[in-house]
Amino acid sequence: MNDETTPVLIVGAGLAGLSTAVFLGLHGVSSIVVERHPGTSRQPKARGQAPATMEALRTAGVADDFLAAAPPGEPGMRIVITPGVAGPALRDFADDLPAFESLSAEPYGGVSQERAEAILARRAAELGADIRFSTRMESFHDDGDGVTAVVRGPDGDDRQVRARYLVAADGHKGGIRDTLGVTTHGRVAPRPTRTLFAQFEADLDRYRSGHAVALWYVQNPDLPGGSATVVSTDHPGRYVIALADEQDASDARCVELIRTAVGVSDLAVTVTDRATTASGSHIVRVADSFVAGRVLLVGDAAHLMPPTGGQGGNLAVMDGFHLAWKLAAVLGGSAGPRLLDSHDTERRPLADAYAEQQYANMAQRHAPGLRDESVAELLDPATLLFGYQCPAGAFVAEPAPAPLFRDPTAPGAPAGGRAPHVPLLRSGTRVSTRALFGRTFVLLSGDEGEAWQKAGRAAAERLGVGLDGFRIGPDADLQDPDGAWLDAYGLTPSGGTLVRPDGVIAYRGRNEDGAAGLEDALRTVLCRAAR
């Protein structure tokens, strides 16, 4: 049996696994990615990238590739509840979406999983990842110092791979979580169902209102189960319909159901593909821990949720973004291994909240019979997408604990939350504060915050940590033409804030006094011994 070593072994080349490989590569860490399928997804699956996800993809150098890969049409999605695709909208969710320009410089992305995975795989390989398709992990053993795995390639030969860490990105049907004995919690389906997915070609452009992506939640008693979902694909004129409780997958039956869902009895339809899948017992399933020894769970291996709301794929990409810098810091020796515990304390509460939000969306849009007192109240989109506050993790907690979600437009963003987007000027060019993050720690201070910058340089040198420092003011590195940044970050001109590589605020001090605690803050974040 051939032996080889790698810093990180990633099992699964879906959105989560490939994103982890991309962001690890961005931080200079190579990985081996094994995937049992022969290539990336051939199905649209998850679609859409929220602005925060696009920010991460911008850091990775692929945001423009995503924008170019989106279907033609107006940005964003048309999402409606309707008795039929051709019928009136009972509710148009575009009416509920606020403009996010004040919260991010990036637009929504409209790329399907099919194209997203291909882009991520290409970028991961460019950054040093060794991606092996048609390769299955047969077994693994965590001995406390690393993980030894046996992988079987397309030639049938077994190879032994020794990794310092294993990332489980093997999806909700993968076996790594169960092998580890990690339990789960969530919601069990009222009864097992089978869902028919049919891909078809038809002229539905007139019902899309010019949008690049369209999604119709059809509520019609003449359909099996009283509902269906119809969604556009990356290919003009091609759509997918999903129907629960339908056993007949013949062309004639599919055409009949598509015509009923559209509401046009003589619609010209060509069925191009179909598949029937049995649902598991869970509608929602979240692992009780995202960390088990030297194994870290990401994507659907960590959190399974209904697709309604479109955040499952975003969570998968962002799992990799938020995990990669931590793994890189631990592997490089600038952080203690306990830093990785924050992958659980920071990402699991978010997954729980998003899973319940997706379930609430499903009850509202697709299955009203599920609605009861246990269903969460839906958060407004801005709060959901930009307002999450880690309840615990790799940051210096502030005296007054923040709620799990806060209004992202409110002033004074606390540690543990997203560093706000504020438009600045650098050498006369407009730049977002968010564009400064992604690779290293960033220290932002006011025009009178030289004490912060001095303390930051000294602490970074002593701890061997990469840190970029910027003063913001009329005569500083960056200018604030709208006079918004101090209020957004809750600082005075002599204050400062330390932002992690993933754009989460690690520490802040309203005035110059906070600079004295900067090195201790870095040590806390990185799980390094106190001075």
Cite the active site residues: 217
Strand ranges, E, within 428-530: 429-432, 441-446, 467-472, 496-499, 505-509
Sign, Cα dihedral of 188, 193, 194, 198: negative
Burial environment of residue 381 by CB neighbours within 10 A (0 to 12, 13 to 18, 19 or more)? middle
Which residue in this structure is represented by tokens 């790329």?
111
Q: What is the DSSP string of 92-154?
A: EGGGGPPP-TTT-SS--EEEEHHHHHHHHHHHHHHTT-EEESS-EEEEEEE-SS-EEEEEE-T
Residue 300 CA to residue 351 CA, distance in Å, equals 10
Radius of gyration of the chain (CA): 24
DSSP letter string over 70-107? SPSSEEEEEEEEESSTTS--SEEGGGGPPP-TTT-SS-
Contact 495, 470 (CB under 8 A): no
- 499, 523 Cβ separation under 8 angstroms: no
How do strand 130-132 and strand 31-34 relate by DSSP bridges? parallel
State how far the Cα of 152 lies from the Cα of 36, in Å rounded to an integer.
9
What's the rounded Cα separation, in Å, for the pair 332 and 27? Answer: 10
